[in-house]
Amino acid sequence: MFRKTILTAASGILLFAASVSALHAEPKGKDAPVTVFVSPLTFAFTHFVFLTDQLEDEAKKIGGVTIVKADGQLSAPKQIADIEAAIVQGVDGIILAPVEADALAPVVKEAIAAGITVVTVDRPVNGVPEVLANVAADNFKGAESQGEAVVKDFPNGAKVVTLQGIPGDKTANDRSGGVHKVLDAAGGKYTFVSEQAANFSRDKGLAVTENILTGLSEVPDVIVAGNDDMALGAAQAVEARGLKGKIKIYGYDGSEDALKAVKDGSLAGTVDQFPGQQGRVAIRTLVDFIREGKKPATSDVLVDPVAITPANLEQAERVGLIN
């Protein structure tokens, strides 16, 4: 029994030492080949398509970087299985936009213990301080700019509907919180007449908006959506009821479709969180660490979003795709 205890303790020490060794792997060298696994939330959202495209373009500019990617499909089990496969494959780094911040934490810890450097993008995982960096938009600040756009358009107050993202998701909470901070500070001029989740989905944005408009006794002045897909779904519902121009709709993401809608008046605005910049910064941060051991100045690398309206449409990152 005593011998078994010693062996167990020794095994634990060896495993711990292996983990520490893996977490502090030596830099590969300035021009060493690097393989990176990229797992976005879902390619069903144009935000993550653009982010990944720009990330891949930056990887080509860096040189010697191979990108392996898989669609998260809004499924934590799918993402977990994909990351486990990447660990077995022996990739050098992982860039991850987690579907669920808690559910992905164990497999991220497993990857880091295996000597794989992890950078999260767009949103963090919870409880894994060993992640090299989280590159993301400051969603709370972006939502504040969304609220400020509403105040600018409705200085005397408004009846407001909000379409929120995935319940419990940090991104959804931050975007809702930023809007509330600005509008609540106005002292009652802005009344939230309905707030419902539509899971960042265009179809659900359409369906939820239809239900809200059916249930309200008065037409709201404003619909604030936590992303562009929900905003565009809401725009469909509003137009179907002959209310286009009577309800101002604000999205969040700065997607190509949203920018077109801002240009033609279907949306009053969107918030550009510069996903292309996020992707480029994420891959450079990861490769610099893997090759040369360079750490970012802070583990939270935040991009400041900007509210985009017809007045400043040219500032949008993807405006070139619609002109």
Which tokens belong to 123?
């949103």
- DSSP code per residue over 52-104: HHHHHHHHHHH-SEEEEE---TT-HHHHHHHHHHHHHHT-SEEEE--SSTTTT
Level-2 CATH architecture, domain 26-137+275-304: 3-Layer(aba) Sandwich (3.40)
Q: Is the CB of residue 302 less than 8 Å from the CB of residue 121? A: no
Q: Could you give the percent of the chain with pLDDT greater than 90?
A: 85
Radius of gyration of the chain (CA): 22
Flag the least confident range among 99-103, 150-154, 176-180.
99-103
Which range (36-50, 83-97, 140-154) has the least confidence? 36-50
Topology alike, domains 26-137+275-304 and 139-273+309-321: yes
On average, the pLDDT of the chain sits at 91
Half-sphere exposure of 218 (CA within 13 A, CB side): 10
The whole model's pTM is what? Answer: 0.76
For the cut 90, the answer to whether the pLDDT of residue 11 exceeds it is no
Domain residue spans in the chain?
A: 26-137+275-304, 139-273+309-321
pLDDT at 283 over 90: yes
H-helix segments, 128-201: 139-153, 170-184
| 152 has pLDDT over 60 | yes
In the predicted model, what is the mean pLDDT of residues 4-26? 40
Is the CATH code 3.40.50.2300 the one for domain 139-273+309-321? yes
pLDDT category of residue 6 using cuts at 50, 70 and 90: very low
Output the pLDDT for position 68.
Answer: 98
Spatial contact of 292 and 301, defined as CB atoms under 8 Å apart: no
Instruction: Tell me what pLDDT residue 168 has.
Output: 84
- Per the CB < 8 A criterion, the answer to whether 254 and 318 are in contact is yes
User: Alpha-carbon distance 240 to 23, whole Å?
Assistant: 55
Q: Is the pLDDT of residue 22 over 50?
A: no
* Burial class, 73, CB count within 10 angstroms (exposed 0-12 / middle 13-18 / buried 19+): middle
Write the DSSP assignment of 184-252 as a string of letters: HTTSSSEEEEEEEE-TT-HHHHHHHHHHHHHH-SS--SEEEESSHHHHHHHHHHHHHTT-BTTBEEE-S
